[in-house]
Amino acid sequence: MEAEPITVEADIAPGLPRTFVVGLPDAAVHEAQERMRSALRNTPGVDFPLQRITVNLAPADLRKEGSGFDLAIAVSVLAARGDVVPPSAGVCLLGELSLEGGLRPTSGVLPIVSCLRDRGIDTFIVPEQNAAEAGLVQDVTVFPARTLHEVLRHIRGQRLLDPYVPRQSTVIQPVARIDVADIAGQPQAKRCLEIAAAGGHNLLFSGPPGSGKTLLARALPGILPSLVESEALEVTRIYSVAGLVNPDQPLAVERPFRSPHHTASAVAVVGGGSSPRPGEITLAHRGVLFLDEFPEFPRAVLEALRQPLEDGFVSVSRAQASVRFPARFTLVASQNPCPCGFYGDPAHRCGCTPVQLERYRRRVSGPLLDRIDLHCAVPRLPPEEMEGKTSAEPSKVVRERVILARARQAERFSGMGLIVNAEMSLAELKQFCRLDDETLQLLRSAAGALQLSGRAYHRVMRVARTIADLGGAESIGSEHVAEALQYRQRG
């Protein structure tokens, strides 16, 4: 997620025509010599030197990955032969070469430009498709180019490239693809959605098949507020590294909603690989991670969620590197109450044995369930409620309340680096979640009766703070704690 400046050096010496790329290059960087050779031969006014060429990527002890070094390698070879004067130290060349000498986009442009700007590099020559992404960074000059020939003419001063001028940004409001008003019944589940959206709390729906759990989860993005500028840049940096940025709209405008299949591996969900890459939980940063059929996920995948849910980041350690990816997401999970799905359903008889039921429930561990703030039962709807004739509030109205609640949190946490109540530490809980004697006694009594852990006790206080914010209350009352407590009772 962070970038390091790489200096590309080239040396041309007498000997058999051969190119060596040194400095811990991966396969993509090593193959740059073949792309460079063809690109130089197909560029007007340039001949490929038929000599021994050595290209060094410094610092030599840092692993180099990707095709973004192609342009810098080609220019360094020409500079070594005296065809061009090397650009100044404040200029970065970035881009992949095609065989005919064109420039193709590369991934990770936003974090590269952002990090190098902080190191004193303020001018960037990038492929035309990456210009909008690089232009998101302030106080830099970006020159978009389509071909290697254009870059060489710019460096030689023959025909300068036009600097990129950012287009006037327009505020795009997220569109509710599934409106909560279109979902019949389930008032308690909709209330849980509103609380989760307002405070960033984790949510678990449990109910028989067809009760609307998946539909409710997919309605959550429609009531979430838009990304603020700092959040949008965070999300865009992640998607830039993953190569998922839209060239026409590089800045993220909607909160991510990721829904991996339950057959996904731990590496796909959490991140990793021989060269660590972000997983689904990082791609869901500042958004929603929806895990349908929660108990069907491999045990290793579910247990790997413990640290991210608690800390907001995931640490991936491999032999080659140890990295830390951001993972501040809202978890929404759904599950059936048993393997057949009809345990506790008055309309259907459950055919599961006690052993099957116990084995199914043990697929999700207690420590993981303890990290989920809201446990909501989604019962089967009676036929008369399935017609959709409902007076429920639309997503637009619910979203306005969520925005007001988040505005109260933003004012409360001003200058503290926090965004939602779910991120409060113990110190902030003591500061912002003070309870009067009556409310404190209610919480203590319920904690003993429900056998709440210390973590669950504090999560109840965070949820109560969010409920108070939705109601516009300055302090947490007994009614807020009572509502928060009922969502800790597991079915």
Instruction: Name which of 203-212, 271-280, 464-473 the model is least confident about.
Output: 271-280
Cβ neighbors of 439 (< 8 A, separation 6 or more) are 476, 477, 478, 481
Residue 388 has pLDDT above 80, yes or no: no
Residue 297 has pLDDT above 70, yes or no: yes
CA distances from 187 to 78, 129, 224, 255, 466 (A): 69, 46, 18, 24, 18
Question: Where is 418: in which H helix or E strand?
Answer: none
One domain, residues 306 and 242: yes
One domain, residues 300 and 376: yes
| Mean pLDDT taken over the chain | 90
Tokens 């997620």 found at: 1
Q: What is the pLDDT of residues 322-343, one digit of tens each?
A: 888 999 999 999 999 999 888 8
CA distances from 473 to 129, 207, 223, 409 (A): 49, 32, 21, 12
Instruction: Name which of 81, 78, 84, 82 is nearest 36 in CA terms.
Output: 78
One domain, residues 20 and 102: yes
Specify whether the CB–CB gap between 156 and 82 falls below 8 A.
no
One domain, residues 308 and 379: yes
Amino acid identity for residue 140 in this structure: V
How many other β-carbons are positioned within 10 Å of the β-carbon of residue 20?
12
Specify whether the CB–CB gap between 401 and 198 falls below 8 A.
yes
One domain, residues 282 and 386: yes
CA distances from 63 to 32, 282, 320, 414, 463 (A): 15, 22, 8, 39, 44
Tokens of 466: 């969010």
Q: What is the pLDDT of residues 75-89, one digit of tens each?
A: 999 999 999 998 888
Residue 490 has pLDDT above 90, yes or no: no
Spatial separation of the C-alpha atoms in residues 209 and 379, rounded to whole Å: 9
- Whether 402 is in a domain gets the answer no
Collapsed DSSP state (helix, strand, coil) of residue 199 = helix
Predicted pLDDT at 467: 96
CA distances from 272 to 60, 321, 324, 383, 448 (A): 24, 10, 10, 47, 41
One domain, residues 18 and 118: yes
333 DSSP 8-state letter: E
Length of the chain: 491
Task: Give the CATH number of the domain where residue 135 resides.
Answer: 3.30.230.10
One domain, residues 364 and 287: yes
Predicted pLDDT at 464: 96
Specify whether the CB–CB gap between 373 and 422 falls below 8 A.
yes
Tokens 């492929």 found at: 127
Q: What is the pLDDT of residues 221-247, one digit of tens each?
A: 999 998 988 899 999 999 998 888 888
How many other β-carbons are positioned within 10 Å of the β-carbon of residue 418?
18
One domain, residues 203 and 249: yes
- Whether 444 is in a domain gets the answer yes
Please report, rounded to a whole number, the percentage of residues in the chain having pLDDT higher than 70.
97
Question: Span 174-200, mean pLDDT?
Answer: 86
How many other β-carbons are positioned within 10 Å of the β-carbon of residue 341?
17
Between vectors from CA 212 to CA 211 and to CA 214, what angle results, nearest 5°? 130
Predicted pLDDT at 418: 87
Predicted pLDDT at 172: 57
Residue 389 has pLDDT above 60, yes or no: no
- Whether 412 is in a domain gets the answer no
Question: Where is 193: in which H helix or E strand?
Answer: helix 187-199
Residue 331 lies in domain:
181-395
One domain, residues 382 and 300: yes
Q: How many domains does the chain have?
A: 3
Spatial separation of the C-alpha atoms in residues 265 and 272, rounded to whole Å: 11
Cβ neighbors of 138 (< 8 A, separation 6 or more) are none
Spatial separation of the C-alpha atoms in residues 13 and 459, rounded to whole Å: 67
Alpha-carbon radius of gyration of the chain: 27
- Whether 408 is in a domain gets the answer no
- Whether 40 is in a domain gets the answer yes
* Residue 52, strand partner residues: 13, 18
Residue 64 has pLDDT above 80, yes or no: yes
Is the C-alpha dihedral spanning 281, 275, 37, 74 positive or negative?
A: positive
Specify whether the CB–CB gap between 21 and 57 falls below 8 A.
yes
Predicted pLDDT at 239: 93
Spatial separation of the C-alpha atoms in residues 237 and 52, rounded to whole Å: 39
Spatial separation of the C-alpha atoms in residues 349 and 342, rounded to whole Å: 6
One domain, residues 140 and 189: no
Question: Span 459-483, mean pLDDT?
Answer: 94
Predicted pLDDT at 392: 75
Spatial separation of the C-alpha atoms in residues 411 and 55, rounded to whole Å: 53
Question: Span 453-476, mean pLDDT?
Answer: 93
Spatial separation of the C-alpha atoms in residues 90 and 121, rounded to whole Å: 4
Q: Could you tell me how many helices (H) and strands (E) the chain has, helices first? A: 20, 17
Predicted pLDDT at 170: 53
Q: What is the pLDDT of residues 86-139, one digit of tens each?
A: 888 889 999 999 999 999 999 999 999 999 999 999 999 999 999 999 999 999
**Beta pairing, strands 203-206 & 330-335:** parallel
Predicted pLDDT at 211: 86
Question: Span 373-385, mean pLDDT?
Answer: 85
Task: Give the CATH number of the domain where residue 281 resides.
Answer: 3.40.50.300
Residue 434 CA neighbour count, 13 Å, CB half = 5
pLDDT band at 300 (very low <50, low <70, confident <90, very high): very high
- Whether 359 is in a domain gets the answer yes
Predicted pLDDT at 168: 65
How many other β-carbons are positioned within 10 Å of the β-carbon of residue 159?
10
One domain, residues 32 and 92: yes
Q: What is the pLDDT of residues 276-294, one digit of tens each?
A: 889 999 999 999 999 999 9
One domain, residues 197 and 317: yes
Q: What is the pLDDT of residues 246-275, one digit of tens each?
A: 888 888 888 999 999 999 999 999 998 877
- Whether 471 is in a domain gets the answer yes
Tokens of 446: 């319920």
For 180-261, list the strands marked E by DSSP. 203-206, 257-258
Specify whether the CB–CB gap between 385 and 211 falls below 8 A.
no
- Whether 27 is in a domain gets the answer yes
